[in-house]
Amino acid sequence: MNIIVLGAGAFGTAIANELSVNTENNAVLFSRNKEKVEEINLHNTNQSCFPNKHLTKHLRASFDKKEIQRADVIFIALPSPIIIEYLKKLRPYFSKSVLLVNLSKGLLENGVTIVDRVKIELNTENVVALKGPSFAVEIMEHADTLLTLGYSTREQYEIINKIIIDTALHIDCTTDIRGVEVLSVLKNIYALVLGIVDAKYNSPNTRFMILTKAFSEVRVLLRALGGAHDTLFLACGFGDLCLTSLNDLSRNRTLGLLIGKGFFNADYKSNSVILEGLKAVDLVHSFPLDHVMDTLPLLNKLHSFFGSKENVLSIQFDKLVDQKFKTVLTYGTFDLLHYGHLEILRRASSLGDKLIVGISTDEFNELKGKTCILPYEKRKELLESLDYVDKVIPEDNWEQKVSDVKENDVDIFVMGNDWEGKFDELKAYCKVIYFPRTKGISTTKLKSILKEEE
């Protein structure tokens, strides 16, 4: 298998070196730095990244673009801001069937992932993500390392599985590529927080209290940004969050330690390490996350700190951690369950800890003049099968909402914005939110399409 690794920095070098352990791989480290290429080929070293360490004798380096033409797999290990322009320049040399593997961590403007942007710019679907708890220096020592592969096709999985045979690299898998990409950014934010807490308090009790809260916030953000809940429990999620937050080899944790010790000030903002953490916080905080931001006190505290002129971050644990259990309530008919329904349920569930859904009974639908394709029991069964939904209750009449709110200790009432203002009387009992409907889809439209196809 012909493999090119783009980027001869620490991580690119470490991955290329480990892949070359499998002698069935023809691994080439691509760099535009001719001196570095010569050093690797003549001395089996990359001193700028790994002083006093030797690379395997099977690893070659090259600056010849013709090497790229022969590549079956290309690993991308470049700084995220330069990836797109770099790849566009090399695009004429890519074979049509080449598999692109994104190792780089980051999100682009408006929350677009690197994988999605590469697919658009290079007009290819053959792009996967490979992320997880991994320090380059550990990979150089051939430490067994688990990474998460975000992939689309079985062929992609088989290729990656084949090239890591006989190496110290291992994989778990998901088709949730977006979740893998998003988690690679979120873990950096909370590594900052854990570094601050460890520097200020040096207490295992306090550390794991905040780690628990951090994990909870990552879960909320992952779902709000379109990732799948289960991805959090893979190497790219729980594993990478813990590695980055609790190990001093982590640059973002180191930044947190600086802040916690009071060594941070505005002058540090020109430092590349500072900028990496600062950009992650600012980027995620800028996303239009509706009312989810209210449930993220750790992120909000960090964003507020970076926006101030203070050099010490104060922590009030009762405000950051002690939060009331929140119950969310919404209603609907939910006939012909579709993506628009799933989207509003996903967003509603992210606002609290428990989501209750009231669905109109068949008798109530008759009173409203509505005809449903599915009966109440089937609609109830479908909703109960969703991870987002914790409880389903019947809606028999218009007037029951106040009693439902009281009986279920509801904190937040959610409806689509086509009902805007019509349930404002519930504000006396709980918070009322109107979500925008998902554009381009509705039950009425689907029924119309189905009728036309009969």
Strand pairing category for 60-62 and 431-435: unpaired
Mean per-residue pLDDT of the chain: 90
What stretch(es) of the chain map to CATH 3.40.50.720? 2-175
Round to whole Å and give the CA distance between 43 and 228.
45
Residue 221 has pLDDT above 80, yes or no: yes
**What is the average per-residue pLDDT within 365-384?**
90
Q: How confident is the model at residue 449 (pLDDT cuts 50, 70, 90)?
A: very low
Residue 147 has pLDDT above 90, yes or no: yes
Round to whole Å and give the CA distance between 208 and 221.
20
Residue 65 has pLDDT above 90, yes or no: yes
Residue 140 has pLDDT above 80, yes or no: yes
Task: Report, as residue numbers or ranges, the catalytic residues.
Answer: 368, 370
Q: What is the pLDDT of residues 100-112, one digit of tens each?
A: 999 999 888 888 9
Q: What is the pLDDT of residues 292-311, one digit of tens each?
A: 888 899 999 999 888 876 66
CATH assignment of 179-320, given 3.10.20.30, 1.10.1040.10, 2.60.130.10, 1.10.10.10?
A: 1.10.1040.10
Alpha carbon distances (Å) from 24 to 2, 143, 239:
9, 20, 29
Torsion over CA: 174, 176, 178, 182 (sign): negative
Contact indicator for 399, 405 with CB cutoff of 8 Å: no
Q: How many of the other CB atoms lie within 10 Å of CB of 436?
A: 13
* Residue given tokens 């950051």 in the structure block: 320
Contact indicator for 20, 92 with CB cutoff of 8 Å: no
| Segment holding 129, helix H or strand E | strand 127-131
Chain centroid to Cα 238, Å, comes to 12
Higher pLDDT among residues 452 and 267, named by residue: 267
What stretch(es) of the chain map to CATH 1.10.1040.10? 179-320
* SS3 call for 231: helix
Superfamily (CATH H level) for 327-453: HUPs (3.40.50.620)
Contact indicator for 403, 366 with CB cutoff of 8 Å: no
Q: How many of the other CB atoms lie within 10 Å of CB of 416?
A: 16
* SS3 call for 395: strand
Superfamily (CATH H level) for 2-175: NAD(P)-binding Rossmann-like Domain (3.40.50.720)
